[in-house]
A and B are shown apart, each in its own frame.
Chain A
Amino acid sequence: MASAALSEAEKVYVVHGVQEDLRVDGRGCEDYRCVEVETDVVSNTSGSARVKLGHTDILVGVKAEMGTPKLEKPNEGYLEFFVDCSANATPEFEGRGGDDLGTEIANTLYRIFNNKSSVDLRTLCISPREHCWILYVDVLLLECGGNLFDAISIAVKAALFNTRIPRVRVLEDEEGSKDIELSDDPYDCIRLSVEHVPCIVTLCKIGCRHVVDATLQEEACSLASLLVSVTSKGVVTCMRKVGKGSLDPESIFEMMESSKRVGKVLHASLQSLLNKEESLGPKRPKVGFLG
């Protein structure tokens, strides 16, 4: 992963600041950087979103394609995640260099969505055992400025909120052969409910305290981090420890409580932003990378 090279003196400076609840850019330990979210950035996808969290830039595109359901779940569609760490972020990701990080992030996304309540997969079913919608969620990592997992999960939630799947009907002939008919109105589509979609909150342990939304410099000072995936109601769907150091059990419980608190606030602000964007309707000015 792209990391900043820090001297010992700089690390000591960061750690001492965190002890006093004052980080290098003036934030408190539980404050996020300014997040910019915009949906519907790429037009030939079913849904897309761009998230800019400090220097971290993520673009997510969701494409809905028709396919056959999995054998063990014939009444549901499913989600497929793919993460591309592009060489834009750092030259180390050129060629196959970004594949390791990409697979790690994709596996984490699979795990946080691997429960019944995150996304209602039955809405993606067209006809049981034969046709269903497969949502390919493709994440493109454009710039790496620390705290990748949080930014990616926010972008995935925003893109799923923006996804519009065309409404189809299955017509059955006299002979029994089925035909799939697309609705005539291009705006007639089904939307996914993202109420229970979780967001990841990464807590990095620096010294004795933990911080939310670490920058690259702070990640270089922390030995261990905890990734907690929290829904808007404060329900934890997945938890994972990353990093080469070790955590003691009390800190894990403390970090979990923090993450639930921070996660609820994050979900509330994200949802209000998405609703506001939605209320501006299709005439809203689209900025994308030009602004």
Chain B
Amino acid sequence: MAGLELLSDQGYRIDGRRAGELRKIQARMGVFAQADGSAYIEQGNTKALAVVYGPHEIRGSRSRALPDRALVNCQYSSATFSTGERKRRPHGDRKSCEMGLQLRQTFEAAILTQLHPRSQIDIYVQVLQADGGTYAACVNAATLAVMDAGIPMRDFVCACSAGFVDGTALADLSHVEEAAGGPQLALALLPASGQIALLEMDARLHEDHLEQVLEAAAQAARDVHTLLDRVVRQHVREASILLGD
């Protein structure tokens, strides 16, 4: 959009945040009783639900079973009313398939699949409202859901997006900032070790700026980790109170 100032002279973004500031994150685990694990996250106006089924026996053809580890299967679906313009199909289009593959890659790096050979873990992510950073919200929700299901993981997987405007790296882009066409980086991080599970960048970015943007995204992901850790501890505390421990 011509004339839309993504970063003002005083350093404020369109929604009033600072360059490295995240949107408000609220999350809850154990949303659905019938699934093995489920979680809901709100990052600003982006709302995502993740549900995990498994580990269970491979559905469909037995030939897909891996002899030494579990198969991770992900589906990304965004509701038809989630975007400003109504979407015709919730899933099955190219973007959803690609997102599903990216989620699968991310979680295969984090889940200890060697503990469950010849079985399948299904992760289904549903985006209810899309306002930028949908991949990050999906990864964060799926991490909580996998934890809720009790599937062992190496570490949390925390994700955040980052962009670059006027020499400053912006963390956690909203839809307006994404649509403006600047470079965007999506990063999924395992915070304890600092290992990167997924890194994806769109549009042109000079290599001198890459480190700055990468550091902004990594710092934002670590901030997300602090929040998710709090959510998990709160959930466990509530569960143990109900059990009477």
Contact across chains for A88 and B126 when beta carbons are under 8 A apart: yes
Q: Decide yes or no whether A187 CB sits under 8 A from chain B.
A: no
Q: Decide yes or no whether B183 CB sits under 8 A from chain A.
A: no
Distance in angstroms from B35 CB to nearest chain A CB is 7
Chain B 92-119, CB-CB to A under 8 Å as 1, else 0, gives 1000000000000000000000000000
Contact across chains for B45 and A43 when beta carbons are under 8 A apart: yes
Given contacts A44-B84, A88-B51, A289-B49, contact A142 B126 (CB under 8 A): yes
Distance in angstroms from B45 CB to nearest chain A CB is 7
Assembled-state Cα–Cα distance A140/B79 (Å)? 7
Q: Decide yes or no whether B90 CB sits under 8 A from chain A.
A: yes
Contact across chains for A94 and B122 when beta carbons are under 8 A apart: yes
Given contacts A63-B86, A94-B75, A96-B92, contact A86 B42 (CB under 8 A): no
Contact across chains for B33 and A55 when beta carbons are under 8 A apart: yes
Chain B 52-84, CB-CB to A under 8 Å as 1, else 0, gives 010000010000000000000101010111111
User: Which residues of chain B come closer than 8 Å to A142, judged between CB atoms?
Assistant: 32, 49, 126
Given contacts A55-B33, A84-B90, contact A138 B80 (CB under 8 A): yes
Given contacts A87-B75, A289-B31, A290-B28, contact A63 B45 (CB under 8 A): no
User: Which residues of chain B come closer than 8 Å to A94, judged between CB atoms?
Assistant: 73, 75, 122, 124
Q: Decide yes or no whether A82 CB sits under 8 A from chain B.
A: yes
Contact across chains for A61 and B80 when beta carbons are under 8 A apart: yes
Residue of chain A at shortest CB distance from B27: A290
Contact across chains for B128 and A59 when beta carbons are under 8 A apart: yes
User: Which residues of chain A come closer than 8 Å to B122, judged between CB atoms?
Assistant: 87, 91, 94
**Contacting residues of chain A (85-118) with chain B, CB-CB under 8 angstroms:** 86-88, 91, 94-96
Q: Decide yes or no whether B193 CB sits under 8 A from chain A.
A: no
Distance in angstroms from B161 CB to nearest chain A CB is 19
The chain B residues found within 8 Å of chain A, CB to CB, are 26, 28, 31-35, 38, 40, 42, 45, 47, 49, 51, 53, 59, 73, 75, 77, 79-84, 86, 90-92, 122, 124, 126, 128-129, 131
The chain A residues found within 8 Å of chain B, CB to CB, are 42-45, 48, 55, 57, 59, 61-63, 65, 82, 84, 86-88, 91, 94-96, 136, 138, 140, 142-145, 288-290
Q: A63-B86, A87-B51, A143-B32 provided; 17 other pairs, C-beta below 8 A?
A: A42-B128, A43-B45, A44-B129, A55-B32, A57-B32, A86-B90, A88-B32, A88-B49, A88-B124, A88-B126, A91-B122, A138-B79, A138-B86, A142-B126, A143-B34, A289-B31, A290-B40
Report 19 cross-chain contacts, Cβ distance below 8 Å, ordered by A residue.
A42-B79, A42-B81, A42-B82, A42-B129, A43-B129, A44-B81, A44-B83, A63-B81, A87-B75, A88-B35, A88-B38, A88-B49, A88-B126, A91-B59, A94-B73, A138-B81, A142-B32, A288-B42, A290-B28
